[in-house]
Structure 1
Amino acid sequence: MDYNNYLPKKRLPYAVRIRNRIIVFAVFMGICALMGTCIFGEKQEQANPADEEEIVEETAENTTEQNTDEQASATVIREDGLFPKADSEDLVNTQTTVAAAVVPETPAEADVIDSTHIKAQKDVFLAEKIDNLLRRFRPEYAVILMVEPRSNEIIAWGERRNNHVQEKPDYFIKNTFPAASLAKTITISAAMESNRYSLTSQIPMIGSSTKLYKSQLRVKEGYKGPFIELQDAYARSANPPMAIVGMNVGADRLRSAAKKLGYNTNFPGALPPRSNYAPPDTGYGLAEVSSGFTDATTLTPLLAAAQVRAILMKKPLEIPWAANLDGYAPKSRIALDVGKFSDNTYYGLREAMIRTVTHGTARKNISTRHMARKNYEALNIGGKTGSLDGKDPYGRYEWFMGFAQSKEDPSKAVVLVIMQVHDLQGMRSQPATQVAGMLFNYWAHQNLPKKGK
Structure 2
Amino acid sequence: MERLPYAQRMRNRCIAITVLITIIVAIVHCSSKDDPEESAKAAAKQQALAADTLAQAVAPSDTNPFDESYNAEVPANENPNGLAALKGIEDEDFESAGNTAVGNDASAISTTSESTDNVRDTVHIKSQKDPSLADKIDILLRRYHPDLGVILVVNTKTNEIIAWGERRDGKVQNRPDWIGRATFPAASLAKLVTIAAAMESNRYSLNTPIPMIGRHHTLYLNQLRVPEKYNGPTMELSEAFARSANPPMAIVGKTIGAKRLTAAAAKLGYNRRFPGNVPNASSYTAPDTGYGLAEVACGFTTSTTLTPLLAAAQVRAVLTKKPLEIPWARDMAPFAPQKPIALDIGKFSENTYYGLRESMLRSVTQGTARKHMSTKNMARKNFEALRLGGKTGSLDGTDPAGRYDWFMGFAESKADPSKSIVVIVMQMHKEIRSQPATQVAATVINYWAHQNLSLKK
Q: TM-score, structure 2 length as denominator?
A: 0.77
- 2:279 is aligned with 1:283: no
Per-residue CA deviation, residues 243-279 of structure 1 (Å, 9 max, x unaligned), is 0000001000000000000000011110001100001
Q: Secondary structure at the match of 1:173?
A: coil
CA contact (8 A) 1:22 1:101 kept: no
- Return closer, same or farther for 1:99/1:173 CA change in 2, 3 Å cut-off: same
Distance 1:397 1:144 in 2: 13
Structure 1 residue 109 corresponds to structure 2 residue 120:
no
Distance in 1, Cα, partners of 2:17 & 2:352 = 61
Deviations, residues 172-219 of structure 1 (Å, cap 9, x unaligned)? 111100000000000000000000001110000000001000000000
Q: 2:310 aligns with which of 303, 309, 318?
A: 303
**Counterpart code for 2:248:** P
Shift of 1:450: 2.8
Distance 2:23 2:355 in 1: 66
1:227 equivalent to 2:206? Answer no
Structure 1 residue 434 and structure 2 residue 439: aligned?
yes
Judge conservation of contact 1:26–1:98 (CA < 8 Å) in 2.
Answer: no
The residue type paired with residue 223 of structure 1 is Y
Does residue 346 of the first structure (1) align with residue 367 of the second (2)? no
Q: Give the gaps of 5 or more residues in structure 1.
A: 1-7, 32-93
CA contact (8 A) 1:22 1:98 kept: no
Cα separation, 2, equivalents of 1:146 and 1:280:
34
Is structure 2 residue 214 aligned with structure 1 residue 207? yes
Structure with more relative contact order (C-alpha pairs < 8 Å, separation 6 or more): 2
What is the rounded CA distance, in whole Å, between the counterparts of 1:23 and 1:137 in structure 2? 37
Kept in 2, the 8 Å contact 1:403–1:416? The answer is yes
In structure 2, the partner of 1:125 is 132
Give the equivalent residue in structure 2 for 1:198. 205
Q: Secondary structure at the match of 1:433?
A: helix
> Which residue is 2:268 aligned to?
261
Q: Which residue identity does 1:108 align to in structure 2?
A: E
- Are residues 135 and 248 of structure 1, via their aligned partners in 2, closer, same or farther at CA, if it must alter by over 3 Å? same
Equivalent position of 1:140 in the other structure: 147
Aligned-pair distance for 1:410?
0.8
**How large is the Cα RMSD of the aligned pairs?**
2.8
CA-to-aligned-CA distance 1:12-67 (integer Å, 9 cap, x gap)? 9xxxx99x979969989xx9xxxxxxxxxxxxxxxxxxxxxxxxxxxxxxxxxxxx
Choose from 308, 329, 342 the match for 1:335: 342
CA offset at residue 162 of structure 1? 1.4
Identity in percent: 62
Separation of aligned partners in 1, 2:156 and 2:436: 24
User: How far apart, in 2, do the equivalents of 1:363 and 1:23 lie?
Assistant: 46
Scaled by the length of structure 1, what TM-score is found? 0.78
- Compared CA separation, residues 95 and 270, structure 1 to 2 (3 A): same
Q: Where does residue 253 of structure 2 map in the other structure?
A: 246
Q: 1:414 to 1:282 in 2, by over 3 A?
A: same
* Residue in 2 that maps onto 1:177: 184
Tell me the residue number matched to 1:450. Answer: 455
Residue by residue over 1:331-359, the C-alpha shift from the partner in whole angstroms, topping out at 9 and shown as x without a partner, is 11111011000011001100000000000
Determine the C-alpha separation between the residues in 2 that align with 1:267 and 1:241. 33
Contact 2:381–2:455 (8 Å) recurs in 1: no
Larger Rg: 1
Q: CA deviation at 1:373?
A: 1.1
